[in-house]
Structure 1
């Protein structure tokens, strides 16, 4: 499989186990491939956030090195330029009803907003280990550490971050199960519902995803507008 096909499959969640291993190996051994993946991630995030100015600047920055870029990187630059033509217009790419594409378009990992507030106590080392792995994108170890943290302390945020780690690992059913446990009275409940809706969408459970998104769309959380946009594409 060509490198660009591996990258597309990664973001659309369609890689087989063998292809996923090949993708992860290339990330470690091929610096140009890793740069392409990161660039494509930034382009997709820029589109999802409707940041046209951000995307233009991103393309300008890469244009400076375009003539020295590898053929594969030039391929992605061209693809990004084509995407720019529809941003703010028809949003053709986002309007597809394909669950993997919608998932890739709207998903991005929740940032670490908790660790700076974790101080002292028996749980400190576990929390630090969990977030250290999470920040390094070592989601396999992060997932295990957050599982331990929740079991030992009952901290609700551990459920959210474990759920996101499971999404990163492609374990969508497990992510749904974990995120469904998030207490409704906790501050990050809306985000747990959002990521659970994405997990359900990726699993093909559109009716359940639709129900969660409708609740978010009717609420007052910052996710309301994004939930309404995704609902319009389901």
Structure 2
């Protein structure tokens, strides 16, 4: 089954559990597909808030106007998702649904995935039960519980790299303010950790609307870094 069919079945609510897993994996690995997916979610939300019949009525008005100057049929525009771009244009013009903050949120959602645990791999032989519990919660996407356990571990000063996962957890639950307080690029001997933290700090800045500081970090990442370089470049191109 191709990507488009998976997305279509998602919006129809007919995905099987296996297809849902396939779609999740595709969204993690294909940025362009994730952008299209998020766009269609945003459009669907607009259609719900405005009322789908009202937007279709506007679309029909445009069709009549178009046909007065062009004999070609545009009935294909009525079909979903072919009408997606046109519908979102209507939403922007007529109901002004999207604000700059919404744009920043959409960009954040497109590029954010929780940080991969590269510092403290959880294995059966790991003797630190507290650390294992913390990362088990984190990798199970139970970020609230992970935050509690990470903070307890951080108090011991034995786990220097936890700030990356603390910041990632805060971002995952939508707490941008605390994420920015944690994701500070100072006193880091490990260059790999530095650029990972820099990437997530840039995402937090994008979400909060601090575009100029985010651009500074992303540009530095593209020029000097070793993490998410392609994503950083694409995000720079999309920032206003």
TM-score by length of 1: 0.59
- 1:114-170 Cα deviation digits (max 9, x unpaired): 33378777xx22211110101111100101111121221342221101111111110
* Structure 1 pair 46–154 and aligned structure 2 pair: CA distance change class (3 A): same
Relative distance call for 1:147 and 1:37 in structure 2 (3 A) is: farther
Structure 1 residue 49 displacement after superposition: 7.4
1:46 and 2:4 matched: no
Question: SS at the partner of 1:232?
Answer: helix
Match of 1:111?
116
Give the alignment partner of residue 221 of structure 1, picking from 226, 232, 240: 226
Q: For residue 107 of structure 2, what is the aligned residue in structure 1?
A: 102
Give yes or no for contact 1:163–1:178 (8 Å, CA) kept in 2: yes
Equivalent residue for 2:195? 190
What is the CA-CA distance between 1:233 and the residue it aligns to? 1.1
SS in 2 for 1:153: coil
1:162 equivalenced with 2:166 (yes/no): yes
Q: Secondary structure at the match of 1:98?
A: helix
Instruction: Tell me which residue corresponds to 2:92.
Output: none
**1:156 touches 1:183 (CA, 8 Å); kept in 2?**
no
The equivalent residue for 1:128 is: 132
Gaps of 5+ in 2: 1-6, 35-79, 86-101
Candidates 133, 138, 146, aligned match of 1:142: 146
Structure 2 contact 183–200 (Cα < 8 Å) conserved: yes
Q: Hey, what does 2:60 align to over in structure 1? A: none
Shift of 1:224: 2.4
Matched, 1:204 2:209: yes
- Structure 1 contact 175–199 (Cα < 8 Å) conserved: yes
| Aligned mates of 1:149, 1:182 — CA distance in 2 | 20
Whose Rg is larger?
2
Question: How far apart, in 2, do the equivalents of 1:35 and 1:183 lie?
Answer: 44
